[in-house]
Structure 1
Amino acid sequence: MTEYKDVVILYHGKCPDGFGGAYAAWKKFGDRATYIPVDHGDAPPEGLAGREVYLVDFCYETAEQMGTLAKRAKRLVVLDHHESARPLVEAVPEHVYDAKRSGATIAWSYFHPETPAPRLMQYLEDGDLYRYSLPETRGIFSYLLVLPFDFFAWDKFAHELEDDAKRVEILKKSEAYTEFFKALADMSVERAKKVRFEGHEVYFASTHPNITLRSYVGNTLYKKLPPFALVVTAHPNGFGVSLRSDGSIDVSKIAEKYGGGGHPGAAGFFIPNGSEMPWTEVADEGSDA
């Protein structure tokens, strides 16, 4: 069994916002903590007994899991913003829940209450909540697509964003990244198929598991065929399913039916290998099928 340090950070893995929250914790604890990426469908790691545990941009799906974790840990703190997780988050005595902020900015204000959030945190929130109210956010997220989930790399990047001249250089470089990733996303959109799922005829597409690409594809497709779209990514142990909605339907409720969760407009769940697919393909018009 892995021997963890006294402080353990469990953060939403494979997600810029989740890693941003872990980065905020790292800026406080450094190498005094153990940092573990986790995902929905995972069981809590063993070896957390007697540890100070922080769940960042993440909450386990069941009250049983959360209760077991709370009993084992010396201290449990949950920092989250996913609306489907709200009851479980608020059941933990030490928590911060705020659907209007992202996991990264919640974590930053929790771990650094006297320090204003750096630009990186602001961009993460703007993109994760799909506001894009800051003109530079799309470029920054394109750049993040090629940046490894490494604290030292992110720390360097965060400092560069605070320098006006270096930020201009980053944004100029990100233009090429943005064009390339948009081309990849557009290919997924062009190859999308219609399926029947949860009483709706919607578009189904596959793409790279990066959250920015999934969101672009999903949002493009639900605009073509409301009220939502499915974007699926392949993994060794199954399929990740992302749901993106126009707001007229709460896709987090759909995701919860399959063991997932999220927000009303953006949610997801996981289908293990060997499971029956919960949708059926709709034959193209004019097809002999």
Structure 2
Amino acid sequence: MEKTIILYHGNCPDGFGGAYAAWKKFGDAAEYIPLSRNGEPPYEACTGANLYFIDFCYTKEVMDQFITIAKSVTMLDHHEGVEDVIRSMPEYRYASDHSGAAIAWDYFHPETPFPTLLQHVEDDDLFRFSLPDTRAIITFLEVQPFEFQVWDEIAQALDNPSTRETMLSRATVYREYFERLAAISVEHAKLVSFEGHEVYFAQAHPLKSMKSLVGNLLAKKKGPCALVISAHPNGYGVSIRGDGSVDVSKIAQKFGGNGHPNSAGFLIRREGPFPWTIIAEDETPRD
């Protein structure tokens, strides 16, 4: 029996949204493995399998190794920083104007309408926020378990007019709480020197929506970007949020990370070094 493995961007609504799209096709017939930039590639588990990489791409050297050991490799991704690697894969779908979840849904379910839940995931991941309630829905998603059945229930609730308003009311409460916590982080931000710029630096909970809240608020106060640090099992996660005047994904790539022009990240090992210096210990953000 053929083995199918879905490898997706872990701890990310867009990555898990793509895995959810695959689950709606394969169910328990496939294995699902979350990936991180600093984890070891799961070569042994993937040997001889049909692999689908969703919203995640290793370096060219690592991906070539997967091609060597796997029965097939399909890449479904949208990150501009690794476009050349994506396009070198035996089979791929690439679209920088769609999220990983959207690409995966279209690939696995070309004749099925795009679920409302994943529309909001894409709206958030591409920083469009063109749909009402996206921020609240994504915040709510992030405090739920990343489990397929849980997401399926949320997806059904959002697509059902009789349950949608109840779901949105719950999501709004979480969002309001997150906004208050983000404001506290912003109040304690420091001014640092980073990559030739004076920018704000703050600490925040590692949930993506929280980091984005803090980073975007600080980037608006003082561009061209802001840094948000959070705890990570292998050290410290650093999120960069930009004001549009610089491509922060290129900055993240200098430190082994990746992302999008206005939203990116990288990891710092626990022992450092830290690529910034504090300018003023008592500097706090001002409008």
Which SS does the other structure have where 2:45 is aligned? coil
Distance 1:91 1:145 in 2: 33
The Cα shift of 1:284 comes to 4.6
Q: Does 1:266 align with 2:263?
A: yes
For residues 241 and 247 of structure 1, the distance between their equivalents in structure 2, rounded to whole angstroms, comes to 18
Q: 1:57 aligns with which of 51, 55, 64?
A: 55
1:102 lines up with 2:99 in the alignment:
yes
Q: 1:47: Cα distance to partner?
A: 2.3
CA distance in 2, matches of 1:188, 1:151: 32
Q: Does the aligned pair in 1 maintain the 2:186–2:214 contact within 8 Å?
A: yes
Distance 2:213 2:51 in 1: 34
The separation in 1 between residues aligned to 2:129 and 2:222, in whole angstroms, is 22
CA–CA separation in structure 2 for the residues paired with 1:107 and 1:216:
27
Match of 1:32 among 14, 25, 29: 29
Is the CA contact (8 Å cut-off) linking 2:229 and 2:238 kept in structure 1?
A: yes
One-letter code of the match for 2:269?
P
Of residues 78, 88, 91, the one that matches 1:91 is 88
Report % sequence identity. Answer: 54
Could you report, residue by residue, the CA deviation over 1:66-95 in whole angstroms, capped at 9, with x for unpaired residues? 110111111001111111111111111201
User: How far is 1:223 from its partner?
Assistant: 0.6
Query: Where does the alignment leave 5 or more consecutive residues of structure 2 unmatched?
Result: none
Gaps of 5+ in 1: none
- Give the C-alpha shift of residue 138 in structure 1: 1.7
Q: Which residue of 1 aligns with 2:220?
A: 223
- Within a 5 Å distance, the mapping from 1:114-263 to structure 2 comes to 114-263=111-260
CA RMSD in angstroms comes to 1.4
Offset of residue 201 of structure 1: 0.7
Q: CA deviation at 1:145?
A: 2.4
Aligned length: 282
Partner Cα distance (2:7, 2:134) in 1: 26
Decide whether the 8 Å contact of 1:85 with 1:262 is kept in 2. no
Map Cα deviations across residues 202-238 of structure 1 (whole Å, 9 max, x no partner): 0111111111111111110011010000111112320
Where has structure 1 moved over 4 Å in runs of 4 or more?
none
Q: 1:245 to 1:197 in 2, by over 3 A?
A: same
Which amino acid in the other structure matches residue 214 of structure 1?
A: K
TM-score of the superposed pair, with normalisation by structure 1:
0.95
Does the residue aligned with 2:280 lie in a helix, a strand or coil? coil
2:64 maps to 67
* Deviation, structure 1 residue 142: 2.3
User: Quick check: 1:81 aligned with 2:75?
Assistant: no
Name whichever of 39-48 and 8-17 sits farther off.
Answer: 39-48
Q: Residues 100-135 of structure 1, C-alpha deviation per residue, up to 9 Å, x if partnerless?
A: 111111100001111111101101101111111011
Q: Secondary structure of 1:100's partner?
A: coil
Q: Give secondary structure in 2 for the equivalent of 1:47.
A: helix
Match of 2:15 among 1, 13, 18: 18
TM-score, normalised with respect to structure 2: 0.95
